[in-house]
Amino acid sequence: MLKAYKFRLNPTAEQKTSINNQIGCCRFVYNWALEQKIKSYEQEGKSISRYDLNKMIPDLKKEHEWLKEANSQSLQAVTKNLETAFTKFFREKTGFPNFKSKKNPVQSFQIPQHYIVDFEKNIIKLPKMGEIKAVLHRTFEGKTKTATVSKTSTGKYFISILVDDGKEVPEKQKFTEQNTIGVDVGIKDFAVLSNGEKIDNPKYLKKSLKRLKVVSKQLSRKKKGSKNREKAKKRLAKIHEKVTNQRKDFQHKVSLKLISENQAIAFETLKVKNMVKNHCLAQAISDASWSSFIEKMEYKAEWYGKTILRIGQFEPSTKLCNVCGYHNKDITLKIREWVCPECKTFHDRDINAAINIKKFALQDQNLIVI
């Protein structure tokens, strides 16, 4: 089973320069390879493979001597990533690959092999960079795969190591109606469970908006290209980074709790890209980050042998009475509570939706096991 472990790096000034140079080299090769692919298709009507691109890299190094400072395997990994991007474009329609910019908030490069992790000395030895101090806060066992070195917009350095621990993915555990729970994600409450429990939405972005506006105004007043502008940009990035870290920490805790307490978890399929087109709710939806939460649920369910169930996005989970099945067509977003005119049952809008999500998911015709 593959797992990724992320550690903080504390490079020296010289090592920072080396990492930045390697990032720049990989970015240059990626943009060059993308340009070659576009030209090949326009002129010959066919795409050039990554193997042909790799054969062209030595000549590119002769033309640009500074590329020799980078690890050769890292440069070859770039063409593999580009080919993966094109595969996703053709198969999953994820969008045509873009040229990389040094202004992107996160910059990174990959090291396929020949790196060493020493837990006793708290160092990681990287090709052409030597031993770099690292915060190895946890250990791992298994065969190391590709490592990814990244630099954040706040100037922090990290390394993410993919490890094959040799263990098989556990079999899915059997689940019943009693140990299955329905989850209705929302804005007012982050998640409402079919057992009546509500998980508050921390709204980290909303709480930081005042400070973000102040720092954004300070940044806009700074002269372009000045050191003060770079300092203001870093202050703004630190606030965004804090919000992101808070959100990730919250979602990890909630997802682990749900996975640990239930054998199966049912969700409603949401088209978040379409939902954020509503300008009144876009910021609140983005702050909740439902897609990121469900993604964490899915891979943790795989780790622990649990099951994620999904129902269709057009199922009337909110408008249907979970007791008698009455379909209330008059419910709008403003209505948070309602009474069923048929069975006179009082409904909390979100709890009723969570119960219906669980019911729909357990029906054979709607059951999708991930």
Active site residues: 184, 268, 350
**CA-CA distance, 86 to 355, in Å (whole number)?**
41
- Using left for φ > 0, alpha for ψ between -120 and 50, and beta otherwise, residue 64 falls in beta
Q: Which phi and psi (to 5°) does residue 22 adopt?
A: -65, -40
Sign of the CA dihedral 47, 51, 52, 58?
A: positive
**CA-CA distance, 343 to 190, in Å (whole number)?**
29
**CA-CA distance, 50 to 321, in Å (whole number)?**
56
Q: Which phi and psi (to 5°) does residue 117 adopt?
A: -110, 120
**CA-CA distance, 75 to 50, in Å (whole number)?**
11
Q: 239 near 208, Cβ under 8 Å?
A: yes
**CA-CA distance, 268 to 290, in Å (whole number)?**
11
Token pair listed for 76: 């070859």
Say how far residue 32 (Cα) sits from the centre of its chain: 27
Q: Could you tell me which residues come within 8 angstroms of residue 112 by beta carbon, excluding any fewer than 6 positions away?
A: 73, 74, 76, 77, 145, 146
* Share in percent of the chain as helix, strand, coil (round to 5): 45, 20, 35
Residue 356 parent element (H or E): helix 349-362
Q: 76 near 64, Cβ under 8 Å?
A: no
Q: 217 near 226, Cβ under 8 Å?
A: no
Helix (H, G, I), strand (E, B) or coil at 207: helix
Using the CB atoms, write b or e for 117-131: b if 16+ within 10 Å.
beeeeebbebbebee
